[in-house]
Structure 1
Amino acid sequence: MLGNYSSATEFFLLGFPGSQEVRRILFATFFLLYAVTVMGNVVFIITVCVDKCLQSPMYFFLGHLCVLEILITSTAVPFMLWGLLLPSTQIMSLTACAAQLYLYLSLGTSELALMGVMAVDCYVAVCNPLRYDIIMNSSTCIWVIIVSWVLGFLSEIWPVYATFQLTFCKSSVLDHFYCDRGQLLKVSCEDTLFTEFILFLMAVFIIIVSLIPTIVSYTYIISTILKIPSASGWRKSFSTCASHFTCVVIGYGSCLFFYMKPKQTQAAEYNQIVSLLVLVVTPFLNPFIFTLRNDKFIQAFGDGMKHCYQLLKN
């Protein structure tokens, strides 16, 4: 029966509704956020690489988190911006759609794995400070980064493959600004209930597995901090984990809203709002979260700017 259907070979993305003036305002807003996101993360990465005072596991992991943030937002935002300028060009081939979805999901999964690793790093720093350099040595850090990336890219092969084994014959129009899986399932002419349920279970499994080390680590961290008698000791311990904890709350909060729902074909408006949170707002906020309350980084960045000024002056 399905053999009589012709599956779509390309999709037209509706993007954002509204007049040309509204589209220009949205373009200017999202372009500014995207530019600040990329520049902020790049500045953080360069500062960490150049300054010897920041050569520690915490900044090593934060640097990789910045790389992931740049890549995640770049999977969809440039195409979205182009579509806001020229709506008629929002056409994506089936192959490009699969590639975009795979990269977005894989990078997002790698980021969740990395946040779990960073939680363990915070635990070791607070609860076992004397053994920190031995446990979190350079070899261990490199290996956990490699494992995080590999797990992210391997875990999303089957979900994306299963999605694109469906036949898309209801429509070639996706009511979204990027190749959203929920919209793909919506335009499929097959019964996607079982596929949606399996994808939901996989999303739950990935999020819970990456969240377990975070929950366990912070349980021990809070228990250790509460035993510290001095207020200055409390502040120092909390500052060690403050940036990571804020990223965890924002990152996992977005995932819970976006992925952990049995019905993937959610309302397009809901998916677009949460997608903007994941692809635009969170990557924009993270560089500020990493730096604003990080005295060590601010000092290193200030020293770097002074050095650049001296070089330009001479």
Structure 2
Amino acid sequence: MENENHTGLTQFYFHPLSPRREMQLLIFMAFLLMYVVSLCGNSAITLIVCTDHSLHTPMYFFLANLAALEVFYSSSIAPLTLANLLSGRKATISLVGCGTQMFFFIFLGGAECVLLAVMALDRYVAICNPLRYTLIMSWKVCVCLAAGSLGLGSLFALQFTTLLFHQSFCDTSEINHFYCDVMPVLRLVCGNTKSLEAIIFAATSITLTVPFLMICISYFFIVAAILQIHSAAGRHRATSTCSSHLTIVLLQYGCAIFTYCHTSSTYSPEQGQVVSVVYTFVTPLVNPLIYSMRNKELKDAFSRVLGRKFSLKSSLLSKIVFCHTY
């Protein structure tokens, strides 16, 4: 414990994604493109669901919440990462800033995991108990479930952040990552961290396992119900809505389990960075694409919104031309 420097440590350093300046700029352009597209896509889904009354159903309410979470989740990491890549200097972050970033991405990521379980429950009720769907999934229940996912996400974040940032950090303050993730920061803690690792591993396992088990159980009954549907159109509709959700579940939980369900001794910084790029930049990018390509109602609503905008613009243009002429 001779090297502990918790009270004197005021900032961390991020290990660069590449030592070459040309590669840093190339990574910056790729990350910027993915971030902008994901912002536009997820913001569009949120706005369309809010403005189109035909989408004011529990399924789209939860989808809009998921899209909004993706916007804030990627924004908790991407802007600082992009700024560090563009500057080309050795990037730093304060101790408080590191803890704040960790809190928000765990909070938003945890809320997403719980919300995906809520969405699976919503699909279970819609497919397995359609006659009582509107009664069970009332707006009061939907709001409580969405608020509950945020509440659990904040509890996860508070637990992990408080536990980690009450430790003593060594003199080596370089984080071998492009943001303040749990495992890279844990590797900077001084002394024997086995008990701390065990607590984090157990908490992470419970945090990920319980919602994932709920999703698996829901889909077990959903698949059984789909197999009993005689109509090909009804079977296709049920399968298409569930397949979009299931694809996002596999991406989200696959990356989270690969990253967090192991100890620091088995953690690979290089593999961790690759997986982190997937769930911080790629997953928020593909989520709106997966839902928009497979969902006819969402595409029709998007066309209606665009149609109204173009109609309004053409109407205003006609009035301007008329006034100018006369």
Once structures 1 and 2 are overlaid, which stretch shifts more, 16-25 or 56-65? 16-25
Once structures 1 and 2 are overlaid, which stretch shifts more, 6-15 or 260-269? 260-269
Distance 1:21 1:131 in 2: 59
Partner of 1:281: 282
> What displacement does 1:242 show?
2.1
Q: What SS does structure 2 have at the residue aligned with 1:111?
A: helix
Confirm or deny: 8 A CA contact 1:15 1:80 kept in the other structure: no
Partner of 1:112: 113
> What displacement does 1:279 show?
0.3
> What displacement does 1:233 show?
2.4
User: Deviations for 1:266-307, whole angstroms, at most 9, x for unmatched residues?
Assistant: 121111111111101101100101110100011110011011
Distance 2:63 2:4 in 1: 48
Confirm or deny: 8 A CA contact 1:181 1:264 kept in the other structure: no
Task: Return 5+ residue gaps in structure 2 as ranges.
Answer: 316-326
Q: What SS does structure 2 have at the residue aligned with 1:88?
A: coil
Distance 2:171 2:192 in 1: 12
Distance 2:145 2:214 in 1: 13
Distance 1:97 1:300 in 2: 40
Confirm or deny: 8 A CA contact 2:28 2:85 kept in the other structure: yes
Partner of 2:212: 211
Distance 1:190 1:265 in 2: 18
1:244 counterpart letter in structure 2: H
Partner of 1:88: 89
Once structures 1 and 2 are overlaid, which stretch shifts more, 153-162 or 294-303? 153-162
Distance 2:217 2:270 in 1: 35
Confirm or deny: 8 A CA contact 2:59 2:119 kept in the other structure: yes
1:225 counterpart letter in structure 2: I
2:49 counterpart letter in structure 1: V
**What is the aligned-residue identity percentage?**
35
Partner of 2:77: 76
Distance 1:18 1:238 in 2: 46
Confirm or deny: 8 A CA contact 1:76 1:178 kept in the other structure: yes
Confirm or deny: 8 A CA contact 2:255 2:278 kept in the other structure: yes
Confirm or deny: 8 A CA contact 1:76 1:100 kept in the other structure: yes
Partner of 2:324: none
Partner of 2:311: 310
Distance 2:277 2:212 in 1: 23
The answer to whether the aligner puts 1:123 opposite 2:104 as a matched pair is no
Distance 1:128 1:222 in 2: 13
Structure 1 stretches of 4+ moved >4 Å = none
TM-score, normalised with respect to structure 2: 0.93
User: Deviations for 1:209-268, whole angstroms, at most 9, x for unmatched residues?
Assistant: 111221111111100111122322211221231221111111111111111113377121
Q: Cα 1:186–1:217, aligned 2, differ >3 Å: closer, same or farther?
A: same
Confirm or deny: 8 A CA contact 1:183 1:265 kept in the other structure: no
Distance 2:141 2:134 in 1: 10
User: Deviations for 1:70-116, whole angstroms, at most 9, x for unmatched residues?
Assistant: 11111111111011111326110000000101111111111111001
Partner of 1:175: 176
Partner of 1:150: 151
TM-score, normalised with respect to structure 1: 0.96
1:171 counterpart letter in structure 2: T
Distance 1:30 1:155 in 2: 27
Once structures 1 and 2 are overlaid, which stretch shifts more, 171-180 or 48-57? 171-180
- Computed over aligned residues only, the root mean square deviation of the Cα atoms, in angstroms, reads 1.4
Confirm or deny: 8 A CA contact 1:182 1:264 kept in the other structure: no
Q: What SS does structure 2 have at the residue aligned with 1:292?
A: helix
Confirm or deny: 8 A CA contact 1:117 1:144 kept in the other structure: yes
Distance 1:114 1:142 in 2: 12
Partner of 1:5: 4
Count matched residues.
Answer: 313
The answer to whether the aligner puts 1:64 opposite 2:74 as a matched pair is no
Superposed, 1:210-289 pairs within 5 Å as 210-263=211-264, 266-289=267-290
User: Deviations for 1:33-63, whole angstroms, at most 9, x for unmatched residues?
Assistant: 0000000001111110110110000000000
Partner of 1:184: 185
